Amino acid sequence: MEIKGEQLKVGYGDYTVIQGMDLHVQSGRITSIIGPNGSGKSTVLKALTRLLPYKSGMVRVDGRPLSSYSPKELARNIGVLPQLHSAPPDFLVRELVGYGRVPYQKWYQQNTEEDQRVIDWAMKATGVYPLREKSIRECSGGESQRVWIATVLTQQPQILFLDEPTTYLDIAHQLETMRLVKKLNRENGIGVVMVLHDLTQALDVSDWIVVIKNGRKYDEGTPEDVITAKMMKEVYDVDCDIIHVPGRRKPLIAYKEIG
């Protein structure tokens, strides 16, 4: 599956954030969208997933216009974990994960055996199966993030969109979440598109990186090609060196000392 944005203009009210952008994401690989605060990363993610209407341009999903998909049909093909989500804290993990089946059900239907099988699979794939009888209140930040990813996974999407999945998590839970994302991609072939702030993580897990600056695409390509000292200076106005360390596959970003 592939989703293509052509000449996209997106914004809120009279304010245009994304100024005519071409963007292409596909299943099977991990794509990270990076860029400074306010550059339009989340906005473009929302436009590709129809959480936000675009002003002009076109989004095609497998060649078909995004608008031709019914809401539920779209939800069976792509899953989105928004930056802001909340559930009543007394919901049980298995109940919350079960909401991922909503796109497969009519409003009066209950979970079928097939639904239950997918719910169990998603909980096992994200490692939250042992927590299934706990309430959300009893889960740690990292656990609850995995529960939410399980919920979206229960939609059986071909592409998973994650908007800043590691924000507000401590470093251990950030790495845990990134490992989970990589595992889901490698083991199930699910495409992942995520907005990331941590560039070292983006470098580490992504197959493809899109850099956005002021609502325009600055560059895109493989992590090693895109994350360069020049890009860091031009996009973030940050001085750094990209250093290769023996024994590591991916390079590291060494920021200039604060002094």
Partner 1 sequence: MSKSSKRKVSALRVGTVWLILVIALGLLSLVAINVGSAGYSVRQIVDALLSPEKSTVKVIVVNLRLPRLLLALLIGASLSAAGALLQSVMRNPLADPGTIGVSAGAGTAATTILLLFPQMTGAVPLFAFGGAALACFLIYTMAWKEGIDPTRIILSGVAINSVLGAYNSLLQMLHSDSLEGVLAFMNGSLSGRSWSHVHTLSIYAGIGLVLAFLCIKGANTLQLGDEMAKSLGVNVSWTRVLLSAVSAFLAAATVSVAGMIGFVGLVVPHIARLLVGSDYKQMLPTSVLLGAVVLLAADTVGRTVVPGMEIPVGIVMSVTGGPFFLYMLRKRGKVRGN
Tell me whether residue 12 or residue 237 sits nearer to partner 1 (CB atom): 12
**CA angle 95–98–99, rounded 5-degree value:** 100
The CB-of-246 to partner 1 minimum distance in angstroms stands at 43
Q: Pairing relation of β-strands 216-221 and 64-65?
A: unpaired
Q: How far is the CB of 155 from partner 1 (least distance, A)?
A: 7
Q: Which two tokens stand for residue 18?
A: 């994304």
Q: Report d(CA 29, CA 189) in Å as an integer.
A: 8
Task: Give the residue with the Cβ less far from partner 1, 165 or 251.
Answer: 165
> Contact positions toward partner 1, by CB under 8 A?
49, 51, 53, 70-76, 79-82, 84-88, 90-91, 95-96, 99-100, 102-103, 107-108, 132-133, 152, 155
**In a 3-state reduction of DSSP, which class is residue 17?**
strand
- Of 47 and 75, nearer to partner 1 (C-beta) is 75
Question: How near is the Cβ of 86 to partner 1 at its closest, in Å?
Answer: 5
Which residue, 53 or 189, has its beta carbon nearer to partner 1? 53
CA 77 to chain CA centroid, Å, is 14
Q: Judged by CB, which is closer to partner 1: 26, or 135? A: 135
Cβ-contact 41, 53 below 8 angstroms: no
Nearest approach, Cβ of 103 to partner 1 (angstroms)?
4
Q: At what angle do helices 113-125 and 141-153 cross, to 10 degrees?
A: 140
